[in-house]
Amino acid sequence: MGGGDRDHANPLAGVDLAGWFEGHGRDLPWRRTRYPWAIVVAEAMLQQTQVARVTERWPRFLGRFPTPAACAAAPVGDVIDEWAGLGYNRRAVALHRTATAIVDRHGGRVPDGLADLLALPGIGPYTARAVRVFAFELDDAVVDTNVARILARATGRPLRPAPLQALADAAVPRGRGWAWNQALLDVGAGWCTARTPRCDQGCPLAVAGRCAWWAAGRPQPDPAVGSARVSGGQSRFAGSDRQGRGRLVEALRRGPVAAVDLAAVMGWPDDTARAERVAATVVADGLARRHGGTLDLGA
């Protein structure tokens, strides 16, 4: 069943996504648990890392930091070290801060209230709702770039943030929020993709005749382009400040780095000013500490 009992104008009304998920859903390890901290870790990793990499690294991280208390008690440098290969190292610092706040404010237990979750450092609107849905099986709607793209195409127009969330909320069938949201994520990842959507290969919205963009012949511009929460792609990585930051953090995982070596370590041997500027952002983000003429991982 869909969410038509709440809003007959909702494009997802009448689409049995929860039923579709039973036959088409991905078997992912974090879908086999309702342990809230495990869900927090999975969502932190999945933000900008491929699912296959997270599948490999998620159990290892939990083996080292099985609870918020264990993560909070560890030096942040240990968390950064365990994050190696997952990209965007600031997420490791944010996760450590999240764990610390869970211990300090909630006795080490991940809260289920939306306001409490949003008040935690490193937890935004998507992650807060994802924890409520995937750990506590509450009937919120999670809206990442995949779900936002589906809803824009289903309605046939770009959506602003508030109407987008309201539309998603209205569609969730009571008591089936967990499967419903997992299904939407899978449709977005495998069928309603950004570049090569598989509309005519079993997309449940197209099959049910509930996608306005598909029904109109997929005219351009794609309504998902410019719609709220739909990512627009990343800037070039090679030669970027992000690449230099990543090289520095990777070097710091192996040991302290002398300030005089920053430019060489970051790949800009003839641009010490750039290396110092970018290194300062690494320190400001809590990824490293500076002790006189040396940098090391944050403690």
Measured distance CA(183)–CA(24) in Å, rounded: 8
Measured distance CA(137)–CA(34) in Å, rounded: 8
Measured distance CA(43)–CA(241) in Å, rounded: 25
- Tokens found for residue 136: 């506590």
**What is the tally of helices (H) and strands (E) in the chain?**
16, 3
**How many CB atoms lie under 10 A from the CB of residue 246?**
18
- Helix, strand, coil % in the chain, rounded to nearest 5: 55, 5, 45
How far CA 127 is from CA of 142, 212, 233, 235, 255, in Å, comes to 8, 28, 20, 24, 33
- Tokens found for residue 94: 């944010």
Q: Which of 22, 43, 250, 276 is catalytic?
A: 43
**Residue whose pair of structure tokens reads 């780095």 in the numeric block:** 257
Is 43 one of the annotated active-site residues of the chain?
Answer: yes
Determine contact, residues 119/130, Cβ cutoff 8 Å.
no
- Tokens found for residue 171: 């569609």
What are phi and psi for residue 24, nearest 5 degrees?
-130, -5
Q: Which residues pair with 192 in a beta bridge?
A: none
Is the previous residue joined to 111 through a cis bond, with omega within 30 degrees of 0?
no
Measured distance CA(70)–CA(103) in Å, rounded: 10
The residues annotated with a catalytic role in the active site are 43
